[in-house]
Amino acid sequence: MRMTGWFDILSLDKLKMQEDKAGLEDALRNLESLVQAEVAQGIPSKRVLVAGFSQGGAVALLMLRSHTQVAAVLGMSTWLPLADEQPLISAENQNTPVLMCHGNADQVVRYAYGQESLQRLKAAGAPIDFKTYHGLGHSVDPKEVEDITSFITKHAYEAPQAAVEEEQEGPQSFATPIEKLQEFGIAAVDVKKLKENGIHSVESLAHSNKRDLILMKGLSEAKVDKMQKESFKLVHMGFTTASCIMESRKDNIRISTGCKDLDNILEGGIETGSITEMYGEFRCGKTQLCHTLCVLCQMPVDMGGGEGKAMYIDTEGTFRPERLVQIAEEYGMNGDDVLNNVAYARAHNTAHQSELLMQAAGMMTDARFSLMIVDSVTALYRTEYNGRGELSARQIHLGRFLRSLQRLADEFGIAVVVTNQVVAANLDGGGGMFPAGGGVKPIGGNIMAHASTTRLALKKGRGEARVVKIVCSPSLPERDATFAIESKGVTDVKE
């Protein structure tokens, strides 16, 4: 008998049947894509419950192998496919609760298959519960529906709240959604107007200039005053003590660059909550470092990551997703998962580049991001603004863009990394900030210099090595490190 659905069922004679392995693996990938579609809507995968009946239940049990963690797995009148293929359960789903329901009169998927599947999953360490329904065939009865309802309620409604509390112990990046103002008497229509103009969080409203808010269509000065008054109740805007600031900075994390030498001079990696600028000539490793950070930022904090997604604004057209997959595989990560956790946009002009930050604020309100990259921050400005006659306008626009970046870093606790181009330092008689790097200086002048928290100058070294130097930082001394670029991205230089 040949039945086609999620995969081909070649036989149902016994658990160790001839199986359509390729079809099963495709089915798992299809299921993972469905879960990732929910993630893209802002729902964390570990709040998604996967369930199925018969063949669908077999695919649901396959989800335990996935590197995408889910809330729970429910299989009804089903069996465990690929039972001899190890591992049955991934590290990510080792603690994922499982419920199997089976009638002992099932003549399609025999009850014995369900029992053997139970033993296999128990041996693999799954937290599994098995419900038997006497006299039930390949169907569902009211008692089973009650058990299913109880399971879903516990793991799709009650468990997510516990997950929220657990997440609050980890890295915090979520700002207060702007909708919170509706609890303080602000009309929903006015909240919508704020969001249409890029104000997605209460913090963003509190930090905004009143003059800019009044210019928004449909918002009078009286409305703006009322909204900001309410936002000031939720966001601290006054003085505090240095000890409080020091305590809050303990929540900042550092994202590994992939190179121990570079991480050491940065005292752990790229700092969240601030802007890190990397400048240098072409082929000095700026974009490769950005690609590496996009992968590593998704790893757990205790492994040098930021436990969040990455956002990439590309102005030069050098972003390559296949490079992310290559780096991810070198680190033992699932390439598809990594790609789905990187939000990419190509900026076509300076106005578009700024508009993308408004979209970014909305996305960061809905999901956990740990990194934003702009590669490069000045490329479009160099081509759109020409000569000294437009220099002032260019610097004002660039300054506003950089200020918006810093606000994102402050409000969402993300690490912002921008790359910058260089110009020959002797064009205007300047000596450059990194003379050892070939007599070049970064574009953007003082506006760029003052906006960057940490400035890193990159240059080519001997052979395939690259050299990076800390040029400016409020807490790190000037020093340099070397790194190499390999298949796993940025890494240590081999002796």
Q: What are the b/e assignments for 60-72, b being 16+ CB within 10 Å?
A: bbbbbbbebbbbb
> Going along 54-127, which residue ranges are E strands?
72-76, 98-103
Short-list 96, 95, 51, 105, CA closest to 75: 51
Map 181-250 to HEC letters: HHHHCCCHHHHHHHHHCCCCEHHHHHHCCHHHHHCCCCCCHHHHHHHHHHHHHHCCCCCCCHHHHHHHHC
Q: Say which of 54, 77, 204, 208 is annotated catalytic.
A: 54
Residues 451 and 399 sit within 8 Å (Cβ to Cβ): yes
Burial label, 466 (beta-carbon count in 10 A; 0-12, 13-18, 19+)? buried
| Residue bearing tokens 């519960």 | 129
Q: Say which of 8, 67, 90, 138 is annotated catalytic.
A: 138
Q: Sign of dihedral through CA atoms 303, 304, 305, 311?
A: negative
Q: Sign of dihedral through CA atoms 435, 436, 441, 442?
A: negative
Q: Say which of 106, 190, 337, 480 is annotated catalytic.
A: 106
∠ CA 464-372-234, rounded to 5°? 150
Question: What are the beta bridge partners of residue 371?
Answer: 310, 415
138 is catalytic: yes
76 three-state secondary structure: strand
Provide the terminal-to-terminal Cα distance of the chain, rounded to the nearest Å: 61
Tokens encoding 289:
């470092």
For residue 165, the surrounding DSSP H or E stretch is helix 159-167
Residues 112 and 13 sit within 8 Å (Cβ to Cβ): no
Residues belonging to the active site: 54, 106, 138
